């Protein structure tokens, strides 16, 4: 039995569910739909949602559907937050409306268009806070921002997630300097 699939989903106050071919979740932060694959059914009893499956051949879909439904419920009620830090001399970020402008050591600034539903705030030009009700979209946007200048293991410069541990590598060490000798 799927350990994740067996967990019950608590529905907070202010969140409405509509179960059909898809699960429609509405809350104060917006609304989301979750596909319900064949062989999986959802049952709501009061403020609890339970995900059940027909037989063991649907075990993988059981856990997946429960995780997607739980993420939708949490997203529309409280939302998700992802934070990034920018390291490097002269590296910074600025946001105007739904366009983020990055200066990451290239010869030009990088314009990044934020998808609808994603909110971005910049603290001290080097700390980025992303907020969204959809966990998948938020993670993809954060990964795309990190990919603009991935962290360099030699100089520790670049864009990385807050709390991401980066092991610094030792550079080349050589005896003899340039060229060679006879």
Co-location of 13 and 30 in the same domain: yes
Residue 171 within any structural domain of the chain? no
Co-location of 62 and 35 in the same domain: yes
pTM above 0.75, yes or no: yes
Co-location of 16 and 63 in the same domain: yes
Q: Tell me, what CATH number does 47's domain have?
A: 3.90.930.12
Co-location of 95 and 59 in the same domain: no
pLDDT value at residue 140: 93
Count of the separate structural domains present in the chain? 2
1 — pLDDT class (breaks 50, 70, 90): very low
pLDDT value at residue 60: 84
Smallest Cα–Cα separation from 83: which of 114, 122, 113? 122
Co-location of 61 and 125 in the same domain: no
pLDDT tens digit sequence for 121-159:
998 888 999 999 999 999 999 999 989 888 888 888 888
Domain of 155 in residue numbering reads as 80-161
User: Taking residues 76-102, what's their average pLDDT?
Assistant: 90
Co-location of 11 and 41 in the same domain: yes
Co-location of 90 and 71 in the same domain: no
DSSP 58-122: GHHHHHHHHHHHHHHHHHHHT-EEEEEEEESTT-EEEEETTEEEEE-SSSS-EEEEPPTT-EEEE
Co-location of 67 and 102 in the same domain: no
CA distance 1 to 62: 9
Residue 20 within any structural domain of the chain? yes
- 7 or 176, higher pLDDT: 7
| C-alpha dist (Å) from residue 154 to 9, 84, 157, 168 | 44, 19, 8, 6
**Domain stops at, among 77, 96, 114:** 77
| C-alpha dist (Å) from residue 116 to 16, 69, 132, 137 | 22, 21, 9, 10
Task: Please report which helix (H) or strand (E) contains residue 51, including its range.
Answer: strand 48-53
Co-location of 73 and 85 in the same domain: no
Residue 128 within any structural domain of the chain? yes
Co-location of 85 and 47 in the same domain: no
């Amino acid at each position: 039995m799927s350990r994740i699939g067996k967990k019950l989903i608590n529905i907070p106050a202010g969140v409405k569910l509509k179960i059909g071919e898809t699960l429609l979740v509405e809350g104060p932060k917006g609304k989301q739909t979750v596909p319900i694959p064949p062989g999986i059914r959802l049952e709501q009893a009061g403020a609890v949602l339970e995900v059940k499956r027909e037989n063991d051949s649907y075990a993988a879909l059981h856990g997946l559907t429960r995780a997607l439904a739980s993420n939708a419920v949490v997203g529309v009620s409280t939302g998700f937050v992802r934070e990034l830090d920018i390291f490097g001399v002269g590296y910074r970020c600025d946001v105007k409306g739904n366009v983020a402008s990055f200066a990451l050591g290239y010869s030009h600034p990088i314009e990044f268009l934020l998808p609808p539903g994603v909110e971005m705030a910049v603290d001290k030009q080097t700390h980025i806070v992303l907020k969204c009700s959809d966990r998948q979209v938020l993670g993809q946007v954060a990964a795309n921002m990190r990919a603009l200048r991935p962290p360099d293991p030699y100089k520790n410069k670049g864009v990385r997630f807050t709390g991401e541990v980066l092991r610094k590598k030792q550079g080349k060490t050589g005896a003899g300097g340039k060229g060679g000798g006879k």
